[in-house]
């Protein structure tokens, strides 16, 4: 049995409004809001990296949990925007935190990465004690790569989230999880080396709007639950219209879906943990209540995780 | 327009909330009848009205880009 012990996050200070990015892309601020639900996003400055943001999020998480770096037995870093091919951010984050010679691995999975990491951490925690999951993304570098495309570039923001998965009791028990992939559509959402992001938005939305509800319903069904039994959903903050569509498919009030995409945009894999961190701080679930985390992204990879408040 | 094309057209109008009639070979995306969020609704309507299960492996937007293409896809499903 594993538990989500604590969640933290970090965001750059610089706020980029729809007016600012719209002027750059040649589109209206209201159009961005209408097609995405995004009002603003955060951009890291030149000195801020996936490593520095990941370290800041991890420190926030560890400090609020009252944990020192030597309490961590394993580190998993999710990032699709690492600064180099290898080594990835994981070892640098572990070193910066002062985690002494623990295993530290990278998952370059992009948007679904945090949940894939949580799925692994759930199984690693009984062996390693506490697993630190970090998801950190500098998507502004992707968004601002020429040639920019308005429907893609306006979406993204920077940030990082982190959480500790422990074999010791924490605030949320990880009950079950389900992850999947389908490489048939790998080219429909891809970031090639030294090229702009390639995104077939129609394909992404078509698959996401069918696979996410199915992943949630399958996970709940095998645990004897239905979507209405879940008090809170935390979904990858890809697009507010997609989140609304998933809520409709599940026949769940949109109010049960925590959202912060209006303020931060799509921060790829970081978005799940940033949202989970804010959700835990602003509206923590009562004991016994169920929550579902769910994601979809490049690959395609997708999944869901069922949690129960302790 | 065939009877099958006419039913597809009604479904396109339903999800697009448009009353105009696209020609059978007109791109539904380029002409504004479909966008990313209307396409999943159209696929769900096609599954229900034509009693077919469209597998994930067939979920390529190009297959649903015109009434003719949709008809050809459905014809291939038997």
Per residue in B54-72, pLDDT (tens digit) is 999 999 999 999 999 999 9
Instruction: Read off the CATH number of the domain in which B50 is found.
Output: 1.10.1200.10
Interchain proximity A210–B40, CB inside 8 Å: yes
Interchain proximity B36–A201, CB inside 8 Å: yes
Question: What is the helix (H) or strand (E) element at residue A231, kind and residue range?
Answer: strand A230-235
Interchain proximity B40–A202, CB inside 8 Å: no
Percent of chain A with pLDDT over 70: 100
B59 touches chain A (CB under 8 A): yes
B-contacting residues in A 123-152 (Cβ below 8 Å) = none
B-contacting residues in A 227-256 (Cβ below 8 Å) = 241-242, 245
Q: How many domains does chain B have?
A: 1
Closest Cα to residue A299, out of A93, A163, A30, A115?
Answer: A115
A205 touches chain B (CB under 8 A): yes
C-alpha distances in Å from residue A236, one per residue of A92, A132, A222, B9: 25, 19, 22, 34
What is the average per-residue pLDDT within A142-152? 89
Interchain proximity A209–B29, CB inside 8 Å: no
What's the burial of A180, exposed, middle or buried (CB within 10 Å: 0-12/13-18/19+)?
Answer: middle
What is the average per-residue pLDDT within A214-233? 98
pLDDT at residue B1 in the model:
73
User: CA A132, CA A165: separation in Å to the nearest integer?
Assistant: 6
What is the average per-residue pLDDT within A156-163? 98
pLDDT at residue A27 in the model:
95
Higher pLDDT, A61 or A195: A61
Residue B43 banded pLDDT, cuts 50, 70, 90 = very high
pLDDT at residue A272 in the model:
98
Residue A275 banded pLDDT, cuts 50, 70, 90 = very high
User: CA A115, CA A110: separation in Å to the nearest integer?
Assistant: 10
User: CA A121, CA A113: separation in Å to the nearest integer?
Assistant: 12
What is the overall mean pLDDT for chain A? 96
Interchain proximity A202–B43, CB inside 8 Å: no
What is the average per-residue pLDDT within A199-205? 96
Interchain proximity A207–B56, CB inside 8 Å: yes
User: What are phi and psi for residue A270, nearest 5 degrees?
Assistant: -70, -25
Of B56, B57, B61, the CB nearest to A202: B61
Which of chain B's residues have a Cβ under 8 Å away from the Cβ of A182? 56
What is the average per-residue pLDDT within B13-39? 91
Q: How many helices (H) and strands (E) does chain A have?
A: 11, 14
What is the average per-residue pLDDT within A119-129? 97
Interchain proximity A209–B40, CB inside 8 Å: yes
pLDDT tens, position by position, A89-123 = 999 999 999 998 999 999 999 999 999 999 999 99
Can you say whether the dihedral through the CA atoms of B37, A153, A298, A106 is positive or negative? negative
pLDDT at residue A236 in the model:
98
What is the average per-residue pLDDT within A80-89? 95
B59 is in which domain, residue-wise? 3-77
Which of chain B's residues have a Cβ under 8 Å away from the Cβ of A204? 36
DSSP A156: B
pLDDT tens, position by position, A15-46 = 999 999 999 999 999 999 999 999 999 999 99
Residue A192 banded pLDDT, cuts 50, 70, 90 = very high
Question: C-alpha dihedral over B9, B15, B19, B25, to 10 degrees?
Answer: -40
What is the average per-residue pLDDT within A186-208? 94
| Preceding omega of B72 cis (within 30 degrees of 0) | no
pLDDT tens, position by position, B3-24 = 889 999 999 999 998 888 889 9
What is the average per-residue pLDDT within A197-211? 96
Q: How far is B44 from chain A, CA to nearest CA, in Å?
A: 9
pLDDT tens, position by position, A229-274 = 999 999 999 999 999 999 999 999 999 999 999 999 999 999 999 9
User: Ramachandran region of residue A265, left (φ > 0), alpha (ψ -120 to 50) or beta?
Assistant: left
Which of chain A's residues have a Cβ under 8 Å away from the Cβ of B59? 203, 206-207, 210
Residue B48 banded pLDDT, cuts 50, 70, 90 = very high
pLDDT at residue A174 in the model:
98
User: CA B4, CA A306: separation in Å to the nearest integer?
Assistant: 43
3-state secondary structure of A221: helix
pLDDT of B78 higher than 80: no
Question: What is the number of other CB atoms lying within 10 angstroms of the CB of residue A192?
Answer: 9
C-alpha distances in Å from residue B54, one per residue of A20, A207, A227, A247, B74: 42, 12, 24, 22, 9
Question: What is the helix (H) or strand (E) element at residue A308, kind and residue range?
Answer: strand A301-309
Interchain proximity B57–A202, CB inside 8 Å: no
This prediction's pTM? 0.96
pLDDT at residue B17 in the model:
87
Collect all residues with Cβ–Cβ distance below 8 Å to B10 and sequence separation of at least 6.
none
């Amino acid at each position: 049995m594993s538990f989500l012990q604590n969640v933290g996050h970090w965001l750059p200070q610089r706020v980029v409004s729809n007016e600012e990015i719209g002027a750059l892309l040649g589109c209206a601020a209201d159009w961005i809001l209408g097609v995405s639900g995004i009002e603003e996003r955060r951009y890291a400055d030149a000195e801020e990296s996936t490593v520095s943001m990941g370290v800041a999020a991890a420190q926030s998480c560890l400090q609020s949990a009252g944990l020192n770096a030597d309490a961590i037995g394993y580190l998993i870093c999710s990032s699709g925007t690492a600064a180099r091919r290898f080594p990835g951010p994981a070892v640098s984050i572990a070193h910066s935190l002062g985690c002494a010679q623990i295993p530290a691995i990278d998952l370059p999975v992009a948007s679904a990465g945090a949940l894939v990491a949580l799925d692994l951490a759930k199984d690693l925690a009984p062996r390693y004690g506490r697993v630190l999951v970090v998801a950190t993304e500098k998507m502004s570098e992707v968004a601002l790569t020429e040639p920019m495309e308005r429907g893609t570039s306006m979406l993204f923001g920077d940030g990082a989230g982190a959480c500790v998965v422990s074999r010791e009791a924490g605030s949320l028990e990880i009950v079950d999880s389900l992850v999947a992939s389908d490489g048939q559509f790998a080219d429909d959402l891809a970031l090639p080396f030294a090229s702009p992001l390639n995104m077939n938005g129609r394909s992404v939305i078509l698959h996401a709007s069918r696979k996410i509800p199915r992943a949630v319903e399958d996970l709940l069904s095998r645990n004897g639950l239905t979507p209405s039994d879940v008090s809170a959903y935390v979904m990858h903050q890809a697009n507010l219209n997609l989140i609304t569509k998933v809520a409709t498919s599940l026949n769940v009030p949109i109010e049960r879906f925590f959202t912060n995409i209006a303020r931060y945009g799509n921060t790829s894999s970081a978005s799940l943990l940033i949202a989970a961190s804010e959700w835990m701080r602003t509206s923590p679930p009562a004991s016994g209540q169920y929550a579902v985390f769910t994601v979809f992204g490049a690959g395609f990879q997708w999944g869901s995780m069922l949690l129960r408040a302790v | 327009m065939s009877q099958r094309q006419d039913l597809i057209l009604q479904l396109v109008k339903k999800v697009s909330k448009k009353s105009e009639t696209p020609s059978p070979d007109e791109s539904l995306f380029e002409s504004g009848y479909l966008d990313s969020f209307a396409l999943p609704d159209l696929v769900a309507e096609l599954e229900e009205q034509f009693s077919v299960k469209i597998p994930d492996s067939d979920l390529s937007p190009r297959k649903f880009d015109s009434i003719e293409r949709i008809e050809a896809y459905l014809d291939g499903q038997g």
